[in-house]
Amino acid sequence: MSKMIKPYGDKLNDGMVQLSFTLPVKADLAEEAAKNIALKMGLADPHTVYHKDIGEGFTFVIVYGKCTHSVDVSKLKVTKVVEEWMGLDEVNEFVKKNIKRKVVVVGACIESDAHTVGIDAILNMKGFSGDYGFERYSAFKVYNMGAQIVTQQNIHLHNLTKLIDMIESEELRDKFLVIVGGPSINNKFAKELGYDAGFGKGTLPSHVATYAVKKVLSRMGKVKSKRKQC
Amino acid sequence: MNKLNLNRNKIAACRNYSKIIAADLQKIIDKNTTVSVERSILRLFGVDGVDKSGLPYPNILAEKIKEAGVLQYGAANVMASTMIQNRKNFKETVSLIILGKVKPLYVADKRNKQVVNRLSEYGISRVEKARKDRAKLQAKNPTGKGPWFYLIVATGNIYEDVKQARSAALNGANCIAVIRSTAQSLMDYVPYGATTTGFGGTYATQENFRIMRKALDEISVKLGRYIYLVNYCSGLCMCEIAAMGAMERLDMMLNDSMYGIIFRDINMYRTFIDQHFSRMINTQAGIIINTGEDNYLTTADAVKQAHTVLASEFINERLAKNAGMPEKLMGLGHAFEINPDIKNSFLLELAQAQMVREIFPESPIKYMPPTKHITGDIFKAHVIDSMFNLASVATNQSIHLLGILTEGIHTPFIQDRYLSIESAKYVMNAAKDMSTEVTFRKNGLIQKRANEVLDKALKMLGKIKKEGLLNALEQGCFADIKRPRKGGKGFEGVIAKAKEYTNPFEERWSLLK
């Protein structure tokens, strides 16, 4: 059964949204320009509630309008990495009982990426936001390789594809669970690139741990994964 | 100022330990040089430019000198010797060595010293001119009292950065930091020319420095308020970037004595030697350094590990002093990173900020905004940033890096910066005299917290003094990250000095102390 929805302000289906953006025009033109942009975005009755000259010929605006579009939520597919997260003790217990050996985890920033904060948050003993990192788990043997390379060039997204290509050309793809993470990563995107999973902002070490051990087990063929990965 | 009832004897003891810790390190620093120090000397002699493949001339020269087995005498001595023995001027000698037509050499000769001194005039006079130009501009266009608003631009295109910087300055920014391209700190050379397609920022190049300097000078005069230009003098080319910034009149440089070791896995010998010369250059150029203690708290817990920030500040202070730097140029760093869910988190932040202010009264303290607990909820981020603004004005911080509501989502949009400045202006005006009006309850939560952090820092420094800083870094004393002393990048670029070694800038500038 279809279920159409719109943004909600204070009445169902009023479609109210707030926008803020900058236009490369002086203030005298900005109010009208902002309204027209909003109309083209599909917002009815747009109001520029605030505008301010912020220098160099730019004007900041805040606009409200009513979204004329709606979506059918019954047709949406949502990707979830796993159904329920386990904590540190549960993961350790799960591995002890089911996998019966340590799961080896190798972490690194690839190519010229030197930002180790994310990989450290997941792997280092201390973890992130009160959630212990992989080094604290008895279930894991962790190699954190950090940032690798003295860079000569810029980072591109193709680094991510390149890694997968390399693993595939060495015919090792089936031997690894390949997981990517970062503030601009999501699970869908990661899968499109050929990764097993992707973790974005707000990920805790226990999230990655839960996913990893369950997936390793299903790969080992001992248990079929209950949920199909979409 | 003693609003926190801090134990002065303990502060003195911390300084005393740091002095011993730094003295140990100074022995290593004095005995060695690095490829980066020698390339800085070449840059201060006026060597600039790149070959067809983009390799900088200072790198090619230093490499040829190293290959010839004479780098231990210092690039200055070698250049002078090669000039004298081949009867060529400096320019000719540089291109002959680069083309491989002349082999760099060292011959002990009385005339060397005279030639070295003449060559060093280029750098000395350019650095002096930059310092005098700044003083003149500042006298006419005073920056005013802090907290100074420090904003970043990071479009990856220096010309786009200029627009954003000018807009930020118009709205009230005092300092503009041009964010560096991702991972430049791991490059063992400094790129050349203007950047238009950087990733996450632009490269620190001499040309980018010039472009932004010119734009900020124009806007400084227009606004009657001198705008500080900030860049990053860190990583494997720390002291080369210092030399370039000193010549192009940068005003602030991120320059930490340990950041590269801990967060970039750069070799510790290399880093300690490089930071010493870079701080000498910054001192001479009147450049304020910003140390990187805030980074500890992005990985370690801001309550449990607050003392590591203080301990590191004492060490950074002492190492800067050893390079001849006055306190007014030491922008020691810390951050507002306590989990906002903790009860009284704001009071704990106040305690830590006031503590740093009181322990380093002459230093232009650099206060960093919340990042770790900013979730993508831009509205909540704006509120937390406002609390950070309040903590800053209430404790009289000097360099205030504005928190941006879109932290962690993207590099700031032009309106993000505007909103951030609006909040800071409002809060800091509304609470302008709070630092002199409000005192803290005797033995209350705030006083107790500050004294507790000081106690722990003293204990930590005592331990480091006993074991040595290199061992402490191997054990992971800072940010819980362990680094082996011979590991990390750039160790192969450390060279023991020969008896005849000379660094004319170090000699000249240490006489001025």
Q: What is the pLDDT of residue A158?
A: 66
Q: What is the pLDDT of residue A150?
A: 40
Residues 6+ apart with CB under 8 A from A130: none
**Helix B345-359 to helix B445-467 angle, to the nearest 10 degrees?**
60
- pLDDT tens digits for range B219-229: 999 999 999 99
Tokens representing B150 are 């420090």
Q: What is the pLDDT of residue B512?
A: 60
For the ranges A86-95, A111-120, A145-154, B97-106, the maximum mean pLDDT occurs at B97-106
Contact: A22, B414; criterion CB under 8 Å: yes
B484 part of contact set with chain A, CB < 8 Å: no
**Residue owning tokens 């997968």:** A164
3-state secondary structure of A57: coil
- B chain contacts of residue A125, beta-carbon cutoff 8 Å: 480
A126 part of contact set with chain B, CB < 8 Å: yes
Catalytic residue among A52, A80, A126, A162: A126
d(CA B235, CA B394): 34
Q: What is the pLDDT of residue A224?
A: 45
- A chain contacts of residue B487, beta-carbon cutoff 8 Å: none
For B167, the closest of A55, A120, A150 (CB atoms) is A55
Query: CA distances (Å), A186 to each of A166, A189, A229, B109, in order?
Result: 22, 5, 14, 66
Average pLDDT over residues B33-58: 96
A219 vs B241, residue with greater confidence: B241
Cis check: omega of the bond before B147, within 30 degrees of 0: yes
- B chain contacts of residue A60, beta-carbon cutoff 8 Å: 414-415, 418-419
d(CA B423, CA B403): 10
Query: CA distances (Å), A106 to each of A109, A203, B268, B377, B399, in order?
Result: 10, 18, 25, 32, 40
CA angle B418, A49, A62 (to 5 degrees): 40
DSSP string, A144-184: EEEE----SS---THHHHHHHHHHHHTT-GGG---EEE-TT
B181 part of contact set with chain A, CB < 8 Å: yes
The C-alpha of A133 sits at a distance from chain B's nearest C-alpha, in angstroms, of 12
d(CA B70, CA B120): 19
**A143 phi and psi angles, rounded to 5 deg:** -115, 110
d(CA B373, CA B341): 9
Give A122-129's long-range contacts (Cβ < 8 A, gap of 24+).
A122/A181, A122/A203, A122/A205, A122/A208, A123/A205, A124/B299, A124/B480, A125/B480, A126/B299, A126/B300, A126/B301, A126/B480, A127/A204, A127/A205, A128/A204, A128/A205, A129/A204, A129/B339, A129/B373
For residue A111, what pLDDT band results from cuts at 50, 70 and 90? low
For residue A157, what pLDDT band results from cuts at 50, 70 and 90? low
**Residue owning tokens 């990187």:** B292
Q: What is the pLDDT of residue A225?
A: 43
Asked if residue B454 has pLDDT above 90, the reply is yes
Average pLDDT over residues A9-26: 96
Least trusted range by pLDDT, from A200-214, B265-279, B349-363 = A200-214
**Residue owning tokens 């995107």:** A189
In the residue annotation, A191 being an active-site residue is answered as no
Q: What is the pLDDT of residue B75?
A: 98
Average pLDDT over residues A181-193: 83
A177 vs B199, residue with greater confidence: A177
The C-alpha of B18 sits at a distance from chain A's nearest C-alpha, in angstroms, of 28
A170 part of contact set with chain B, CB < 8 Å: no
Contact: B187, A151; criterion CB under 8 Å: yes
Average pLDDT over residues B43-62: 96
Identify which of B105, B101, B48 has the alpha carbon closest to the alpha carbon of residue B72. B105
To test the contact with chain B by mutation, choose from A48, A112, A150, A185 the residue with the greatest count of B C-beta atoms within 10 A, namely A150
Average pLDDT over residues B28-36: 97
Asked if residue A114 has pLDDT above 80, the reply is no
User: How do beta strands B252-254 and B228-232 pair?
Assistant: parallel
**A177 phi and psi angles, rounded to 5 deg:** -100, 120
Identify which of A160, A183, A184 has the alpha carbon closest to the alpha carbon of residue A108. A160
Contact: B170, A56; criterion CB under 8 Å: yes
For residue A192, what pLDDT band results from cuts at 50, 70 and 90? confident
Contact: A54, B301; criterion CB under 8 Å: no
Q: What is the pLDDT of residue A70?
A: 96
Which residues on neighbouring strands pair with residue A104, listed in sequence order?
A141
Q: What is the pLDDT of residue A228?
A: 39
Residues in chain B: 513
**Helix B268-285 to helix B504-511 angle, to the nearest 10 degrees?**
50
Between residues 21 and 40 of chain A, which touch chain B (CB distance below 8 Å)?
A: 21-22
Asked if residue B213 has pLDDT above 70, the reply is yes
3-state secondary structure of B76: helix
B418 part of contact set with chain A, CB < 8 Å: yes
d(CA B494, CA A4): 67
ipTM (interface pTM): 0.79
Q: How many CB pairs under 8 A join A and B?
A: 85
A202 part of contact set with chain B, CB < 8 Å: yes
